[in-house]
Structure 1
């Protein structure tokens, strides 16, 4: 059995300010650092053979806390980045709605049809992120691998695993430092844990 532990990064200031981040490299907030430390402590007793992360600092830094507990290095994987929000990056919901009336509603209802100005589609995100996951699985047969990525990225990966339409991507909640576990039996994926944040109960 190959086991993936997929974790969303800790909180950033832009998460707190409800700004769209995308490919913008926003650091963890103080709370995000505490969240990263908490999820690392939670996973300390797991037998983790490798750690992968998006190259954006919020994911990479979260992964570093996890990797340090296992004396591992972080394998930087740009394909695990969040969706590129293009001209929306750094803007709030209200700012986007004012400049692109009606467009943001599609993000939540029909993301599969959304064309983000200067950005990428959810199909493109799913293709690059799931290809990265498949490569990781191929390179670590029979091992347990921690993967730190982003909310949208993880959502599309889970859509791919469950073979469900991308319009359901936001039906799969991902809180900061949420832990998800996928076990592969002869290539067949089984999700055994989803959006678990019990490590944050006292934080």
Structure 2
């Protein structure tokens, strides 16, 4: 069995301000750093063979906290980045709604059909992120691997893994530093845990 422990990054200021981040490289805020240390402490008892992360600092720093507990380096994978929100990056829901009336609603109802101005589609995100996941799994037979990424990215990975339509991507909640576990038996994925953040309550 290969075990994939997929973690969302800790909180950033833009998370707090409800701004769309996408490929913008926004650092963890103080709370996000505490969350990263908490999830690292939770995973410190696991036997971890490798750690991978998106190359955006909010994911990389979260992964660094986890990797430090195991004496491992973080392998950066740009394909694990969040969806590119293009012209929407740095803007709030209200600002986007004012500038692109009616378009933002598709993000929540039919993301499968959404074309983000200057950005990516959810199909493109799913293709690049899930291809990266499959490479990681293939490289670590019978091992346990940490992957730190982003809410939208993790949602599309789980949609791909479970063969769920992309219009349901937001039905898969991902809190900051939430832990998800995917076990692969002979290459077949089984979702064992989803959006678990009990480490933030302990």
Normalised-by-shorter TM-score class: over 0.9
Matches within 5 A, 1:16-27: 16-27=16-27
- 1:32 — aligned with what? 32
Cα distance in 2 for residues equivalent to 1:176 and 1:187: 28
Matches within 5 A, 1:1-203: 1-202=1-202
After TM superposition, the runs of 4+ consecutive aligned structure 1 residues lying more than 3 A away are: none
Cα distance in 2 for residues equivalent to 1:165 and 1:191: 17
Cα distance in 2 for residues equivalent to 1:190 and 1:116: 32
1:115-151 CA distance string (max 9 Å, x none): 0000000000000000000000010000000000000
1:45-91 CA distance string (max 9 Å, x none): 00010000000000000000000000000000000000000000000
> Gaps (5+ residues) in structure 1?
none
What is the Cα deviation at residue 164 of structure 1? 0.7
> How many residues align structurally?
202
What is the Cα deviation at residue 162 of structure 1? 0.4
What is the Cα deviation at residue 182 of structure 1? 0.2
CA RMSD of aligned residues (A): 0.4
TM-score normalised per structure 2: 1.00
Matched position secondary structure for 1:180: strand
> Gaps (5+ residues) in structure 2?
none
Matched position secondary structure for 1:169: helix
Cα distance in 2 for residues equivalent to 1:102 and 1:144: 43
Cα distance in 2 for residues equivalent to 1:167 and 1:194: 19
Cα distance in 2 for residues equivalent to 1:90 and 1:16: 12
Cα distance in 1 for residues equivalent to 2:25 and 2:76: 14
What is the Cα deviation at residue 92 of structure 1? 0.1
Cα distance in 1 for residues equivalent to 2:86 and 2:139: 32
Cα distance in 2 for residues equivalent to 1:110 and 1:11: 26
TM-score normalised per structure 1: 0.99
Cα distance in 2 for residues equivalent to 1:138 and 1:192: 19
